[in-house]
């Protein structure tokens, strides 16, 4: 990894804490692994094209739960699940590409995957996409577009909103009043048009 990339990632982590958090849905205990039957059933369902099974099996590979840890295999399964419309898998792929887990680190691809999940209303991807626009990481730097996406993430409320609030307020403090207003207008229009509804 190039020094500039490492410095950029460290900067993001300082400005936006929690950026390197674990994959969504992969934190904490998963379904207990019995004598291998659940893993066999999961593999069968994943092979038949079940997007949820592909995502869950991808988590097993990512965490090495009852199976050899293999990020490249996790990525392959997340890609299949995302192609089947699984929002969490698209978000996970953003993180895998952003931090080079099982794939070559690629900010442009990370932004594409975050955008796919963000457009389906996934708040952590909306926030990550806002960070990428704010930093000009994988996309052209656009502070108004960053404000749009963090406003959408914040609008969802809940625990996630509270975790990112300080970071958003800090970043927003560096924008002009015009940029803040335009970001809010873009977010409102996006919601009015019914985006983010699956």
- What are the extents of the domains in the chain? 35-85, 87-198
C-alpha 162, offset from chain centre? 17
HEC sequence for 5-30: HHHHHHHHHHHCCCCCCCCCCCCCCC
Q: What is the pLDDT of residues 43-79, one digit of tens each?
A: 999 999 999 999 999 999 999 998 999 999 999 999 9
The residue with tokens 């914040």 is 154
List the one residue out of 66, 96, 65 whose CA is nearest residue 78: 96
Residue with the larger pLDDT of the pair 195 and 9: 195
The answer to whether 111 and 188 are in contact (CB under 8 A) is no
Q: Indicate the pTM of the whole model.
A: 0.80
**CATH code of the region 87-198:** 1.25.40.10
- DSSP-derived 3-state class of residue 121: coil
- DSSP-derived 3-state class of residue 111: helix
pLDDT interval class at 13 (50, 70, 90): very low
């Amino acid at each position: 990894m190039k020094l500039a990339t490492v410095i950029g990632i460290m900067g993001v982590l300082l400005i936006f804490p929690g950026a390197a958090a674990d994959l969504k849905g992969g934190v904490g205990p998963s379904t207990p692994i019995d004598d291998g039957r659940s893993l066999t059933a999961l593999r069968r369902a994943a092979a038949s094209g079940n997007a949820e099974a592909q995502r869950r099996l991808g988590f097993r590979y990512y965490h090495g739960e009852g199976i050899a840890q293999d990020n490249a295999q996790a990525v392959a399964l997340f890609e299949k699940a995302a192609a089947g419309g699984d929002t969490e898998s698209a978000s996970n792929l953003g993180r895998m590409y952003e931090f080079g887990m099982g794939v070559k680190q690629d900010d442009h691809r990370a932004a594409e995957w975050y955008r796919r999940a963000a457009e389906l209303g996934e708040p952590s991807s909306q926030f990550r996409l806002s960070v990428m626009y704010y930093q000009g990481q994988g996309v052209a730097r656009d502070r108004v577009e960053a404000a749009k996406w963090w406003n959408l993430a914040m609008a969802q409320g809940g625990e996630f909103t509270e975790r990112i609030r300080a970071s958003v307020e800090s970043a927003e403090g560096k924008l002009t009043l015009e940029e803040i207003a335009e970001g809010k207008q873009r977010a409102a229009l996006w919601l009015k048009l019914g985006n983010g509804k699956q």
